[in-house]
A and B are shown apart, each in its own frame.
Chain A
Amino acid sequence: MARTLKLRIWRGDDKTGGLQDVTVEANHGEVVLDIIHRVQATQMGDLAVRWNCKAGKCGSCSMEINGKPRLACMTQVAAYPEDEVITITPLRAFPVIKDLVTDVSFNYKKAMEIPSLEMPAGMKPGEPRMQQVDVERSQEFRKCIECFLCQNTCHVIRDHEENKKSFAGPRFFIRIAELDMHPLDMLRNRKKTAQEEHGLGLCNITKCCTEVCPEHIKITDNAIIPMKERVADEKYDPIRWLGSKIRRREDVL
């Protein structure tokens, strides 16, 4: 079942770099990360790549394969025709450190800017009561493995470096939505600040982020669109927002 595979791997750093051709054996059932490891072990001992779990659970091995943002450990070699050259490049929206490794610190900075969960005052450990239906919406967003493929693919930052300052990106829109829908969260105005401080307004709902999410999180339909709609609501009717929060709070106490 072994086949010979032609790869083109981007090698270089923040200053120079280019695609290098490599020929390597591939076995039945292998994923792109396996191939990269074989290249490392046999031809390029210093080829840089991030990975960790090799089971699609940690979100470390994000890269672009034939131009598509993907997890290398979840991308089968067999998905590409025998004679096709597979091109492997680093994520495009983040600065390259070396080879396939990029500087994703942008995302950690954005995480720091999102206000954390605010628990109801006086609530003690063991006290919360929440129904499964009420936690499920936030649970969907908590499936996120922080692979940042959605961040990488979103045109608002992919092609416009200058937007990075004012745009948190889809990964953090779902974080805001998660907190906003968290049955215990007491912080008000999350949707409004998403719009005014985290750049939700720059999103024009292209849904590219949803398409690349390996966890199949419906980023646009379930987080972005509802927040945009509700922001519109709330701008005109703050009382209604207060009402919804208070009712939720009574449910849980």
Chain B
Amino acid sequence: MTLEKHKYDVVIIGAGGAGLRAAVEAREAGLSVAIVCKSLFGKAHTVMAEGGAAASMGNVNDNDNWMVHFRDTMRGGKFLNHYRMAELHAKEAPDRIWELEMWGALFDRTSEGKISQRNFGGHEYPRLAHVGDRTGLELIRTMQQRIVALQQQDARDHGEAEKNMKVFAEVTITEILKENGKIAGAYGYRRETGSEVLFEAPAVVIATGGVGKTFKITSNSWEGTGDGHALALKAGANLVDMEFLQFHPTGMVWPLSVKGILVTESVRGEGGILTNSLGERFMFKYIPDVFKDKYADNEAEADRWYEDQDNNRRPPELLPRDEVARAINSEVKAGRGTEHGGVFLDVSKRISAEIIKKRLPSMWHQFYELAGVDITKEAMEVGPTCHYVMGGVEVEPDTAAAVGVPGLYAAGEVAGGMHGSNRLGGNSLTDLLVFGRRAGKGAADYVKANGANPVSEAAISKASARIEAPFARTGGENAYSLHQELQEITHNLVGIIRTGQELTKAIAEIADIRKRSGNISVSGDRKFNPGFHLAFDLDNMLLVAESTAKSALLREESRGGHTRDDFPGMNSTWRQVNHISSFDGDKVNVKAQPLPVLPKELFDLFDVHELEKYMTSEEIAKGGSK
């Protein structure tokens, strides 16, 4: 069999919002671009985004501007964000949204005919451009159609639509290739046939999205297997702050068909109560001292609050997300969880069927159609669901270049730094566009300055041998079972609440699975074989899990998407620390690295009393770097 070979200036791994935006930019800089993705074109995980894309266009409230957005983003990330990424994002997001409109996107409108913007948690002003609850689909479709438009232009000008830009759908990249310390290309297989493909290119952009499938319960699609995180590590790049994962407190855990799907916060807002398997409304036990004056400690008062909010304290179900998630987790760990490892969320007791259907129409519809659960009559089973990874490839903010690997770029959910320890809703979609564009441009500039870097035969045979290996074995481990084992470990030991002891145990168990995964065998042949596909995805998830567990063990504080039961509370000294994961060919190593210091002009955007909550007194005294 002859190897399928392609030569491009830039190879983009991923066709979500970030990858497609990068592709358009590199193509418009005059380069040839291959877009490679695991699914069909137009189906990447980005289609699932609902709420909107955050950009301070000021269409609804003209007090909004990039500085307000920047401040909100830094607060959300508890000041662990790379300030420069947050700054670029806040400044450029409006242009990226307006540009989508020029390419055909039809956002919902204000009465003045401008793009409408909606409120969202953590954003001071209405800021999210949106299309009903399908904003991600609009983003993907617009980018997809932009690419088609550019291909049509090439067909007119050069008689060949795919001359400068081609989509390789249903191809999985298994290896990023380097020669002489620099990027030379990427290697993978076609999912349809199992046949191997070589891409020679001096620059590679990783835009592979998230890692949700590493966990048992996730809102992510199957593509979220952390491929890009692992590919980057293996290519010699670093991952930054992999301990930070966003768990949403209420995802469905049952029925199986909706496992992980989000249950919007408004269910609790409308009067949904949380109970354990004993029928106890447990949230009353979990009100932290600082919130005692604002939250009711008995059912009667909590119930009265819905009618009279001035004279009663709020029900404890409405505590901040991390508190609720922590409480649910404790109940389940104490053996008071439901059969399927969650707790009950019930709106049917408090509100009439009619009002539920009126106020929560999409929730009612979703559960009725998809799960056969009538939420006007039955309780839902819920538990925290893994939603987003803040950690990712360490990059230079301006160019999205991966630190330490010439020719490698990363953008979107796979890149780290932008969101610090916690991401605000809506900031991801604009992150994809802002840094997707910058990565495309960064890669194009690099290729123009450096030229081709051919791949050696040795590199090809090594990559090829790895793909063949699972077929050569018989009677080895089953990839499906190992994946389930991994998900149990991450769920139980590296989940929303962590302890040093459990993390240590997790690290050992992940290492054990990784060893056994070296002996996976695959049944059937290469042709569209999901067992074979999973074997490779699993290898990536194992590296991600190792990196997360090790970073989490080191960070002895609780901040954003990382909660340590043995180190509750935020610590200003830890805020000055990024955790950098690297791979030595055998295992992941994690080390501390100082966080870049906020420059004076950005420091001065904040009230110093606010910064005192996050920074040490020495940092405050310095007033930012000059």
Q: Which residue numbers of A lie inside 8 Å of B, CB to CB?
A: 13, 27-31, 33-34, 40-41, 45-60, 73-74, 76, 78, 97-99, 101, 104, 108, 111-112, 115-117, 119, 123, 125-126, 128-132, 135, 138-139, 142-146, 179, 182
User: B152 at the A/B interface (Cβ < 8 Å)?
Assistant: yes
Q: Is the pair B370, A31 in contact by a Cβ cutoff of 8 Å?
A: yes
CA distance A56 to B133 in the complex (A): 13
* Chain B: minimal CB distance from A149 (Å): 14
Chain A residues near B161: list those with CB within 8 A: 112
Min Cβ gap A124→B in Å is: 8
Is residue B532 within 8 Å, beta carbon to beta carbon, of the partner chain? yes
Interface contact B151-A117, CB-CB below 8 Å:
no
Contact with A along B485-525 (1 / 0, CB 8 A): 00000000000000000000000000000000000001111
Q: In whole angstroms, how far apart are the Cα atoms of A13 and B98 in the complex?
A: 46
Q: Which chain A residues border B525 with CB–CB below 8 Å?
A: 46
Residues of B within 8 A of A28 (CB): 255, 372
Q: Give the Cβ gap from B588 to chain A, nearest Cβ, in Å.
A: 28
Chain A residues with CB under 8 A of B258: 29
Of B106-114, B120-128, B459-467, B558-566, the one contacting chain A is B106-114
Residues of chain B lying within 8 A (CB to CB) of residue A139: 106, 131-132
Given contacts A116-B149, A126-B98, 5 further A-B contacts (CB under 8 A): A28-B372, A29-B254, A52-B222, A117-B104, A130-B106
**B480 interface residue per 8 A CB criterion:** yes
Cβ distance A18 to chain B, nearest Cβ, rounded Å: 17
Hey, what's the 0/1 contact readout for B126-138 against A, CB within 8 Å counting as 1?
0000011010011
Known: A30-B257, A116-B148, A125-B99. A52 touches B112 (CB 8 A): no
A30 B529 Cβ-Cβ under 8 A:
no
Task: Determine whether B597 belongs to the interface, using a CB cutoff of 8 Å to chain A.
Answer: no
> Is there an interface contact between A58 and B527, defined as CB atoms closer than 8 Å?
no
Contact B530 A40 (CB under 8 A): yes
Against A, the Cβ 8 Å flags (1 = close, 0 = not) of B511-550 are: 0000000000011110111111000000000000000000
Please list the 10 inter-chain residue pairs (A to B) with the smallest Cβ-Cβ separation, ordered nearest first. Answer: A29-B255, A46-B524, A129-B113, A45-B531, A125-B98, A48-B528, A116-B149, A41-B480, A46-B529, A98-B528
Interfacial chain B residues near A125, Cβ < 8 Å: 95, 98-99, 101-102
User: What does DSSP make chain B's interface, helix, strand, loop or mixed?
Assistant: loop
B109–A130 CB distance below 8 A: yes
Question: Among the interface residues B151, B192, B256, which one has the most CB atoms of the partner chain A within 10 A?
Answer: B256
A60 near B39 with CB under 8 A, answer yes
B387 CB–A CB distance under 8 Å: no
Provide the main secondary structure of the chain A interface. Answer: loop
Q: List 19 A-B contacts (CB under 8 A).
A: A29-B373, A31-B370, A52-B39, A52-B43, A58-B43, A76-B369, A98-B527, A101-B528, A108-B41, A112-B151, A115-B152, A116-B148, A119-B102, A128-B101, A130-B106, A135-B109, A145-B47, A182-B104, A182-B106
Residues of A within 8 A of B264 (CB): none
Contact yes or no, B480 A40, CB < 8 A: yes
Contact-residue bracket for chain B: 35 or more
User: Which residues of chain B come closer than 8 Å to A58, judged between CB atoms?
Assistant: 39, 43, 47-48, 221
Expressed in whole angstroms, the minimum distance between the Cβ of B208 and any Cβ of chain A is 14
A56 to B137 CA separation, bound complex (whole angstroms): 12
In the complex, chain B residues whose CB is within 8 Å of the CB of A115: 152
- State how many angstroms separate the Cβ of A35 from the closest Cβ of chain B: 10
Q: Which residues 161-193 of B have a CB within 8 angstroms of A?
A: 161, 192
Q: CA A240 – CA B31 in complex, angstroms?
A: 44
Interface string of B251-283 (1 = CB under 8 A from A): 000111110010000000000000000000000
- Across the interface, name the chain B residue whose C-beta is closest to A98: B528
Least CB distance from A171 to B in Å reads 12
Asked if B360 CB lies within 8 Å of chain A CBs, one says no
Instruction: Tell me which residues across on chain A come within 8 A of B141, comparing CB atoms.
Output: 142, 144
- With CB as the reference atom, state the residue of chain B lying closest to A128: B101
Cβ–Cβ contact A52 & B372, under 8 A? no
Please, which residue of chain A has its CB at the minimum distance from the CB of B41?
A: A108
Do A27 and B524 contact each other (CB < 8 Å), given the known contacts A60-B43, A112-B151?
Answer: no
Alpha-carbon gap, A135 to B530, bound state (A): 41
Point out which of A28, A59, A116, A123 has the most chain B C-beta atoms below 10 A from its C-beta. Answer: A116
**Complex Cα gap A30–B151 (Å):** 41
A46: chain B residues at CB < 8 Å are: 522-525, 527-532
How many angstroms from the CA of A34 to the CA of B152 in the assembled complex? 39
CB A110 to nearest CB in B, in angstroms, measures 11
The answer to whether A76 and B522 touch across the interface, beta carbons within 8 angstroms, is no
Q: Is B608 an interface residue (CB 8 A)?
A: no
A129→B530 contact, CB < 8 A: no
Asked if B420 lies at the interface with its beta carbon under 8 angstroms from chain A, I say no
- B355 at the binding interface (Cβ < 8 Å): no
CA–CA, A52 and B38, complex, Å: 10
Does B114 contact A129, Cβ atoms closer than 8 Å?
Answer: yes
Q: Is B371 an interface residue (CB 8 A)?
A: yes
Tell whether, in the assembled complex, residue B148 and residue A111 are in contact, meaning their CB atoms are under 8 Å apart.
yes
The distance in angstroms between the C-alpha atoms of A147 and B45, with both chains bound, is 15
Which of B40, B108, B254, B261 lies in contact with A104, CB distance below 8 A? B40
Q: Are A146's CB and B257's CB within 8 A?
A: no
* B42: interface (CB < 8 Å): yes
> A13 contacts B527, CB within 8 Å?
yes
With CB as the reference atom, state the residue of chain A lying closest to B98. Answer: A125
Please tell me if B223 contacts chain A, counting CB pairs below 8 Å: yes
Q: Which residues of A contact B523 (CB under 8 A)?
A: 45-46
Give chain B residues whose Cβ lies under 8 Å from the Cβ of A55. 48, 261, 370
Tell whether, in the assembled complex, residue B528 and residue A76 are in contact, meaning their CB atoms are under 8 Å apart.
no
Instruction: Check B372–A53 contact: CB distance below 8 A.
Output: no
Contact (Cβ within 8 A) B530 A49: yes
Return the CB mask of B354-379 against A: 1 if under 8 Å, else 0: 00000000000000011111000000
Alpha-carbon distance A60/B38, docked complex (angstroms): 12
B145 interface residue (CB < 8 Å to A): yes
Q: Counting CB contacts under 8 A, is B103 at the interface?
A: yes
A56 partner residues in chain B, CB cutoff 8 A: 370
Do A117 and B149 touch across chains, with their CB atoms under 8 A apart?
yes
A59–B222 alpha-carbon span in the complex (Å) = 14
